[in-house]
Amino acid sequence: MSLYAQIVVNGLMLGALYACIAVGFSLVWGVLNVINMLHGSFIVLGGYLAYFAWLHWQVSPFVMLLAVSVGLFLLGFLLQYGLVNRVVSQPVLTTLTLTFGLDMILYNLMNVWFDATPRRISLDLGRLDLNGVIVPNDRLLAMLLALAMTGVLYLVLRSSRIGRAIVAVRMDRDAATLMGIRVGRVYAITFGIGALMAGACGVLMSVVFPITTNITGLLLGKAFVICVIGGLGTVPGALVGGLALGLIESVAGNFLGAQSAILVGSLLMLVLLMTRPTGLIGKRGYQ
């Protein structure tokens, strides 16, 4: 019995991280109608920065969370404002290829500067034992922080001025323009937020998993799956999708092996897309 409980707990902890990974990606897609192929690389960048700060200067990753968030927000903002903004209303092929190309640059640079050795911040924080279900404290902390950040984002979107502007642009760009919202600026801020969430998640992940540039594609793929399951542009959707994927991978990983778990996720997404071409739940996505 405790095996199943362990699987579920593992799945939920994983899922919280996944939700954090996906929420930025989902927001950018939902608001700008752009798929940010850089997302996976942003995550790894955040993780690497946290790792090296911890390694060389003994900076705690939880402090780095703040630094990385700010840094990546700026990176995302500038990238969008300077480059992506020019093609935002172009067809899918153009925007996708552009972010794909930018990703190639970032990925290559990271490989050259940091190389692809897997790195992990090992904080020895002990573990909890709840009736036979083991919960490592570093994972627990990462999960709580991930949920906290997701929660903060949700509140920002609902209550702050810029948050509501973002939601307005997501719902109806032209109407938002007529309301006096500067859509270009909203786009840049949203992209920045996406990068911020990705980087922050990278920091949290580096405490739990070995981070290497080899997983950028993998992480991006997970973000896709979560968007298809949970819908685009909403925090609750990303949360549901993330938890769902976490659970699926935990179950599949336990019975079929780690590699197969990823395959299951991808196949699930393909099947979902083929049967419901606009995603499973949540708002109808942009095409």
Partner 1 sequence: MNANRFRFPARGAHLLFAGGVLLLAAMPFLADNYFVRLATFVCMYGALALSWNFIGGYAGYPSFSTAAFVGLGSYVGGLLQNAGVPMVLAWLGATVFVSLFAALLGGAILRMKGHYFAIGSITLVEVLRMVASLWVDVTGGGDGLNIRILDGGPDFAGRVFLYAMLAVMLCAWATTLAVERSRLGFGLRCISQNEEAADMVGIDTNRYKTAAYTLSAVYCGTVGAIYASWVSYIAPTDAFGILLTLKVPVMAMLGGLGTVYGPLVGATAFVLMEETIWARFLDYHQAILGVVIVLLIFFLPGGLLKIDYRRGLARIRSAAWARAGRATATEVR
Interface with partner 1, residue 258, by CB under 8 A: no
CA–CA gap between residue 163 and residue 154 (Å, rounded): 9
Interface with partner 1, residue 269, by CB under 8 A: yes
* 157: phi then psi, degrees, rounded to nearest 5: -65, -35
Among 93, 126, 159, 174, binds partner 1 (CB under 8 A): 93
**Other Cβ atoms within 10 Å of 6 Cβ, number:** 17
**C-beta of 128: minimal distance to partner 1 in Å?**
34
- Enter the tokens of residue 21: 């990974």
Considering only 3-11, 45-53, 188-196, 255-263, which stretch makes contact with partner 1 by CB under 8 A? Answer: 255-263
| Binding to partner 1 in span 193-252, by CB under 8 A | 217, 221, 224, 228
**C-beta of 102: minimal distance to partner 1 in Å?**
6
**C-beta of 9: minimal distance to partner 1 in Å?**
26
Of 134 and 263, which CB lies nearer to partner 1 in the complex structure?
263
Dihedral (CA of 238, 240, 246, 251) sign: negative
Of 181 and 232, which CB lies nearer to partner 1 in the complex structure?
232
DSSP string, 25-70: HHHHHHHH----TTHHHHHHHHHHHHHHHHHHH---HHHHHHHHHH
Total interface residues for partner 1 by CB under 8 A: 44
Among 5, 63, 83, 128, binds partner 1 (CB under 8 A): 83
Of 153 and 232, which CB lies nearer to partner 1 in the complex structure?
232
Interface with partner 1, residue 112, by CB under 8 A: yes
**Cβ atoms of residues 172 and 184 within 8 Å:** no
Among 89, 97, 117, 137, binds partner 1 (CB under 8 A): 97
**Cβ atoms of residues 219 and 17 within 8 Å:** no
**Cβ atoms of residues 88 and 95 within 8 Å:** yes
Dihedral (CA of 219, 225, 229, 235) sign: positive
Of 28 and 204, which CB lies nearer to partner 1 in the complex structure?
28
* Residue 163, H or E segment: helix 161-171
DSSP string, 64-82: HHHHHHHHHHHHHHHHHHH
By the criterion CB under 8 A, which residues form the site for partner 1? 29, 33, 35, 83, 86-87, 91-94, 96-98, 100-109, 112, 217, 221, 224, 228, 259-260, 262-263, 266-267, 269-270, 273-274, 277-279, 285-287
